[in-house]
Structure 1
Amino acid sequence: MRAPYRRWLVSSLACVLFAPFVGAVPADAAVDPPGDPAVVAEWNAVAVTTLVGDTGKAPIEGLLYLGFVHAAVYNAVVGITGDYEPYRFRSRAPRGASATAAAAAAAHQVLVTYSPYARSTLDAALATSLARIPDGRAKTTGVAFGVLAADTLIRQRVDDGRYAPVQFTRPPAVGVWRPTPPALLPFSAPWLGGVRPLLVRDGAQFGRPGPPPALGSARYARDFDEVKAVGSATSTVRTQAQTDTARFFSGNVIPQFNAALRDQAATRGLRLAESARMFAAVDMSLADTAISVWHSKYRYGFWRPVTAIAEADADGNPRTAPEPGWTPLITTPPYPDWVSGYSGAAGAFTTALAEVLDTRRLALTLGSTAMPGATRTYATGDALNAEVVDARVWLGIHFRFADTAGLRMGQQVASWAADRYFRPTHR
């Protein structure tokens, strides 16, 4: 059976099965059958591997598509269990449908749609998940309901602004971002700031924090001098401990934070619906933070330290001085400074997690793709956030003011979303 026909058939079957259930449904229209909580974490790991390995996407895009995955998984699960309010999804499954099967089918459907390069691997992962569920009506209706949840999300994301023909065309000038050495790459995914978010109203809601400090200000000079001293590849004032912290937070934030989420789900013994809710709340907040951050980066287009330090004699600030040949500890990423994306992700991650778990004592354990085998633990989100902000300065790729503003933006996005989504139904 050809793939397009197979997808059409599954979607059509789902519509036939669930058409009578679309709309307002009594609270007792579904039961909460036993489900395997591990399925959400397992498909999170599959999704992370799939999206990180998708060479057709810029690295930042992974946050957006991971939000799509967990929105669909969340709807598939709570549409069966009824524990929490669904996300823009009004269908409910027949009594007894398998929430485990629905979660796996929803994740699979979203991933094969947006990363078709990995279809064979994803099909094998789905077969493994479904093999653990006894054959029967519960499994069949669960799969169909999961596909329906995914297809609904996919339809909602049509024409959402992804891959719009947007380019950063601002002419080079003092204070304006331009491609940075050594590769001089163009602005990566400049369209992202115009994408319709999942939770917040639009990218401008939190993505317009106002401009960065004026080039002639004392604050600009202070943060300029700091990154110049401690962020240099040849810094003599940065300690080994600071270098280790910097490198720990120099890898890919998507595997790093999502591995921590899987650890949280396991150590806290979350039920299936609780796990689906946690991953959705965090990863959807991360997606919207990426959109908000990119809106700010594109709107303000502020230069990076590597450019600012080289051209400090033109910034009009008598407190700053250029340093020919200055280079950061790591290569500067190809997008503007204001505001910091990694810091924004940290703010969204810790805030959304604290909100959904209803505790500030997060007991986080993180690894790092840049330092394989290394782990760090944090009692609270504040402790993690402080190290992320410091690390991005010590890497030499951000001014401190860009990190603190990014952190605040992520916190605002996640807090706003937590007040309006993922609420218990009090069944």
Structure 2
Amino acid sequence: MLKLCVLLLSTLLMAPAYADVVSDWAEAAPKVLQKSPRGQVQPATLLTDLAMFNALNAITPRFQPYGPAPTAVPDASPDAAVASAARTVLGSVPGADQSLLDKTYEASLKAATDAAARAKGVALGKRVALALLALRADDSHARVEPPKVEPAPGIHVLTPEYKQESGVGLARLKPFGIKDVSAYDPGPPPAVGSAVAQRDLVEVKAVGGRVSSQRSGEQSVIALFWNSGEGEDAVGMLKTLAEANQATPLEFARMLALMDMADLDSRIVYVGLKTKYRHWRPYNALRGSFADARLRDAGWEPLIHTPPNSDYPSGGAVGGGNLQTLLKAFRGDSQAPLVWVNSALSMTRSWPTPEAMGQELANSRVWSGVHFRNSVDVGYRLGQKVAEEILATQLRPLP
């Protein structure tokens, strides 16, 4: 009985970990992977989240693990387990900054002062990370060229500053959380010349142009805010929410993993749809070879540069739907602040509800002149559905 009490006491003393251990690695990951192949950064970031989550969950099991359940190690150091898990995943990515990786690792281990617990944490973290890497060993990150499509009304054509489409290879990845990519196909976009297509073209021409008398100053600010920033900006927003809710490192790692899983799976879905439907952007519809004669404007420019992929559905709006659904779940009944700091613009915005935040992100794509309203509406619903499936099936609380 005495031995059990001593073990329980030591576990309770170690369990909290330093509150920043997970966020330290989440913020370090984009810097470590800055020179890595672009297509590998997002999957590696998600695997890092999952490795940190699985490691902490093996110390204090509260949720279903991702993939095979690791053996419980209740007396392992949480700091060492997180550091070892993150280092193992990030160190496996080509081009990773090994010097920064080692520096972050050594800083994390300083918190693990018990030598035996530190050794167990290091072993646990490495073990769960290698298991996850093995689970995704068949992933291919090679670039894929989209099939050639003959120019025609409604078909997307890259704007002059781009030579190739972005993100096409993502469509080959197996999703991490959702079961069936094809279940998310909403069907084709509105036909060129239809009432919906005409409505959307009139709207985006009026409010999405670089020069617009109908877009308000606030809408211009929102459009620019959501179309710039750094990868770790979302981590800062989640960290603020987690701190307000007094989330544990395990709970914070779960939030990160669910958010990045919904984001990556959504991208896999919408990149496939963009490649399938190849729907043109407002730029094409207003000044391309097949532009509508009634609305053609050879001098029209969107507020921001048109991205190098097609319109339907809007990836930004998908992200808005993701955020609305996930933040509503993470926030629960609390009134924890929803604050996003755009580090590129040194600008901060806040919202009273997850719905307000998600809808603002979605609307920004029309106000910036790069998407049609229908593509935004379809994308938003798609993002909600993906997030709902992720929340319902992944990293669920144990009974």
Q: TM-score, normalised by structure 2?
A: 0.91
Q: Corresponding residue for 2:323?
A: 349
Spell out the pairing of 1:201-280 with structure 2 (5 A cutoff).
201-206=179-184, 208-252=185-229, 254-280=231-257
Q: Corresponding residue for 1:364?
A: 338
Shift of 1:360: 7.9
Distance across 1 between alignment mates of 2:333 and 2:35: 35
Residue type of the alignment partner of 2:31: T
Picking from 152, 155, 158, the partner of 1:173 is: 152
The C-alpha deviation readout for 1:39-63, integer Å capped at 9, x for no partner, is: 1111111113334x236315xx644
Q: Say how many residue pairs are matched.
A: 389
Instruction: Give the 3 Å change call, closer, same or farther, for CA 342–64 of structure 1 in structure 2.
Output: farther
**What secondary structure does 1:175 align onto?**
coil
Distance across 1 between alignment mates of 2:314 and 2:220: 19
Q: Is 1:194 matched up with 2:169?
A: no
Instruction: Give the 3 Å change call, closer, same or farther, for CA 360–254 of structure 1 in structure 2.
Output: farther
Distance across 1 between alignment mates of 2:203 and 2:60: 52
Deviates more, 1:240-249 or 1:169-178: 169-178
The C-alpha deviation readout for 1:154-209, integer Å capped at 9, x for no partner, is: 1111223432644342222221112113x133111211122101101243332x11
Q: Corresponding residue for 1:298?
A: 275
Shift of 1:369: 4.1
Q: Corresponding residue for 1:396?
A: 369
**What secondary structure does 2:164 align onto?**
coil
**What secondary structure does 1:375 align onto?**
strand
Identity %: 32
The C-alpha deviation readout for 1:209-250, integer Å capped at 9, x for no partner, is: 111111121111111111111111122222222111111111
Distance across 2 between alignment mates of 1:388 and 1:408: 13
Instruction: Give the 3 Å change call, closer, same or farther, for CA 383–291 of structure 1 in structure 2.
Output: same
Picking from 28, 33, 37, the partner of 1:56 is: 37
Residue type of the alignment partner of 1:423: R
Shift of 1:116: 3.6
Given that 1:249 and 1:391 are in contact with CA atoms closer than 8 Å, whether structure 2 keeps it comes out as: yes
In structure 2, runs of 5+ residues without a counterpart are 1-7
Distance across 2 between alignment mates of 1:50 and 1:205: 35
Shift of 1:356: 3.9
Given that 2:245 and 2:334 are in contact with CA atoms closer than 8 Å, whether structure 1 keeps it comes out as: no
Residue type of the alignment partner of 1:415: E
Picking from 135, 143, 148, the partner of 1:156 is: 135
Given that 1:104 and 1:129 are in contact with CA atoms closer than 8 Å, whether structure 2 keeps it comes out as: yes
Deviates more, 1:265-274 or 1:335-344: 265-274
Picking from 335, 354, 368, the partner of 1:381 is: 354
Q: TM-score, normalised by structure 1?
A: 0.85
Shift of 1:371: 1.8
Alignment RMSD: 2.2
Residue type of the alignment partner of 2:368: L
**What secondary structure does 2:211 align onto?**
coil
Q: Corresponding residue for 1:140?
A: 119
Picking from 382, 386, 391, the partner of 1:409 is: 382
**What secondary structure does 1:376 align onto?**
strand
The C-alpha deviation readout for 1:17-56, integer Å capped at 9, x for no partner, is: xxxxxxxxxxx9x9664232321111111113334x2363
Distance across 1 between alignment mates of 2:234 and 2:377: 19
Deviates more, 1:99-108 or 1:350-359: 350-359
Q: Corresponding residue for 2:15?
A: 34
Given that 1:71 and 1:87 are in contact with CA atoms closer than 8 Å, whether structure 2 keeps it comes out as: yes
Q: Corresponding residue for 1:5?
A: none
Distance across 2 between alignment mates of 1:79 and 1:55: 30
Q: Corresponding residue for 2:298?
A: 324
Instruction: Give the 3 Å change call, closer, same or farther, for CA 210–359 of structure 1 in structure 2.
Output: farther
Q: Is 1:338 matched up with 2:312?
A: yes
Picking from 53, 65, 69, the partner of 1:74 is: 53
Q: Corresponding residue for 1:105?
A: 84
Instruction: Give the 3 Å change call, closer, same or farther, for CA 196–31 of structure 1 in structure 2.
Output: farther
Residue type of the alignment partner of 2:260: D
Residue type of the alignment partner of 2:83: A
Q: Corresponding residue for 1:6?
A: none
